[in-house]
Amino acid sequence: MTTTLLACLALAAGTPAELFQEAENLSRGNQNAEAMAKVEQAVEQLERAHAAGEKLEWQEMNGFIFAARLAREDFLDHDKAMAFCRKLFDFADNDYWKVPARLEMALTYRAQGKFKEAQQQYDAIAAADERQRSRMLVPQAEMVLVEMDNREKGQALLEAALLNEAINGRERFGALRKSAQRAMAKGRQDEALRWYAMLEKLPFEKPEDRARFLAEAGYEMGKIEESRGRTAEAKAHYRRAMELEDGEMRYRTRARDALEGIEYFE
């Protein structure tokens, strides 16, 4: 097949970036088979482009991360997920993409219960570049806490990661939220409250970020206390969440409505 014909076929199918975007749109509608077909078309084009010495664009490299997650999470096809991870790693010419490739490899090994191999990927990230080390602290802690079910070590690792200012604030709050939700799912309400309360200790560069997350945490803590019949404690949490001027409005509104609901029946 001539180079011209290959180029024409690629144009007819769409660029790799367009195919990855179409795949994401399809996956949101649970059309996963169609999404994977688009992904494989994109990957075929990128393999040819890389073999021809072309430098891949950001959207194209990022597409491999989506591809790995689609294979791992929606198809439970760990071999295919790992293949996409390795392509991302092999096509990368610096740690900007090698680190996320290793993070996805670690997630795939975790899904397989291969914790030693996952830890090797986290260790490789830490050894490669100290500036990138923070990116593996939260997922490593979650692996120890959740999949390996080592609560003592996992909680210690996660608490240390949550206090690390080098990690993005939204990522740290997301990890804190997930820990509280897991505790609630297992009926450990006091533990969930401790996770949310830890937000007070977390460093944030911007005060408005702290307020935004505190509004959500306060509302969730109010719900927990209200579910236990501890209305005085619930009201205190709701009131604080409601009064945070820079807090996220939807949680301030929910806290106000919850507070009014309690007070109505008192």
Separation CA 146–CA 202 (nearest Å): 22
What is the three-class DSSP state of 212? helix
pTM of the full structure: 0.85
pLDDT of residue 99 exceeding 70, the answer is yes
What is the three-class DSSP state of 93? coil
Residue 57 belongs to a domain: yes
3-state helix, strand, coil in the chain (%, to 5): 80, 0, 20
| pLDDT, tens digit (0-9, with 9 covering 90-100), for 113-128 | 999 999 999 999 999 8
Separation CA 196–CA 208 (nearest Å): 17
| pLDDT, tens digit (0-9, with 9 covering 90-100), for 30-81 | 999 999 999 999 999 999 999 999 999 999 999 999 999 999 999 999 999 9
Work out the pLDDT band at 235, boundaries 50, 70, 90.
Answer: very high
Question: Closest by alpha carbon to 39, among 56, 57, 14?
Answer: 14
Task: Specify the pLDDT at position 11.
Answer: 45
Separation CA 220–CA 208 (nearest Å): 19
Question: Closest by alpha carbon to 101, among 87, 120, 114, 115?
Answer: 87
| pLDDT, tens digit (0-9, with 9 covering 90-100), for 3-31 | 443 444 444 568 999 999 999 999 999 99
Work out the average pLDDT over 216-232: 97
77 lies in which domain range? Answer: 7-91
How many C-beta atoms lie closer than 10 Å to residue 185's C-beta?
A: 9
Supply 184's token pair.
Answer: 């609630």
Residue 127 belongs to a domain: no
DSSP secondary structure letter of residue 29 = T
Residue 84 belongs to a domain: yes
Work out the pLDDT band at 1, boundaries 50, 70, 90.
Answer: very low
Residue 54 belongs to a domain: yes
Residue 126 belongs to a domain: no
| pLDDT, tens digit (0-9, with 9 covering 90-100), for 244-253 | 999 999 999 9
Residue 151 belongs to a domain: no
| pLDDT, tens digit (0-9, with 9 covering 90-100), for 152-210 | 999 999 999 999 999 999 999 999 999 999 999 999 999 999 999 999 999 888 888 89
Residue 148 belongs to a domain: no
Contact residues for 161 (Cβ-Cβ < 8 A; gap 6+): 137, 138, 141, 167, 172, 175
Total structural domains in the chain? Answer: 1
Task: Specify the pLDDT at position 129.
Answer: 77
Residue 239 belongs to a domain: no
